[in-house]
Amino acid sequence: MKVFDLQCTSQHVFEGWFGSEADFSDQLVRQLIQCPVCGDDRIDKRLSAPRLNLSRSADPHGGPGEAAVPARPASTEVVLASPQAEATQAVLRLAKAMLEQTQDVGPRFAEEARRIHYGESQARPIRGQATPEQTRELLDEGVPVMPFMLPESLKGTLQ
């Protein structure tokens, strides 16, 4: 299994897991790899920190073939996350939580938000599509809405 640090042209950083370098190259050429945040399929492989397996198999002061008790665990992994990668993960977690906790009303969002605000419909968390003009009108009326761009990777079925 190969794990690569990948980046789209919008500078979103994410991880990709592949069976081999050849699998990665094949999927890249066929544009099957997409940024989980914006859906961009123009992806570059970044330099990745190697997995460090820090163990000792023999006592440096002992004779040949003598085993030593390791001073630390047999395997230690070092994982360094950039602030940008952490922020991207936080946005994805927020988007997933929003999907799980809201009802999709689609293009009827502005209408349904008004109905809820004025007590004409059952109060519940909703999401949907609204134009910038509709959003401004809702905010001007005092309807509490928050524009949120849903990452392309979350619009389809989650794998």
Q: What is the pLDDT of residue 159?
A: 41
CA distance 149 to 159: 20
Ranges 19-28, 58-67, 81-90, most confident: 19-28
Instruction: Indicate the domain borders of the chain.
Output: 2-45, 102-151
How confident is residue 67, by pLDDT bands cut at 50, 70 and 90?
Answer: very low
More confident residue, 63 or 9: 9
pLDDT tops 80 at residue 11: yes
Give the pLDDT band of residue 106 (cuts 50, 70, 90). Answer: very high
User: Which pLDDT does position 71 carry in this prediction?
Assistant: 42
Average pLDDT score over residue span 1-5: 85
Amino acid type, 142? G
Is the torsion defined by CA of 27, 42, 45, 75 positive or negative? Answer: negative
* Nearest CA among 130, 124, 126, 129 for reference residue 106: 129
Give the 3-state secondary structure of residue 15.
Answer: strand
As a whole number of angstroms, the distance between CA 55 and CA 87 comes to 33
Question: Nearest 5 degrees, angle CA 90-CA 97-CA 28?
Answer: 60
Q: What is the b/e burial string over 94-121, where b = at least 16 CB atoms within 10 angstroms of the residue's CB?
A: ebeeeeeeeeebeeebbebbbebbeeee
Reference 44, options 55, 59, 33; nearest CA is 33
Give the confidence band of 119 by pLDDT, cuts at 50, 70, 90: very high
pLDDT in tens, 36-61: 888 888 999 987 665 555 555 444 44
Residue 61 neighbours by CB under 8 Å, 6+ apart: none
Tell me which of 24 and 155 has the higher pLDDT: 24
Work out the average pLDDT over 119-137: 93
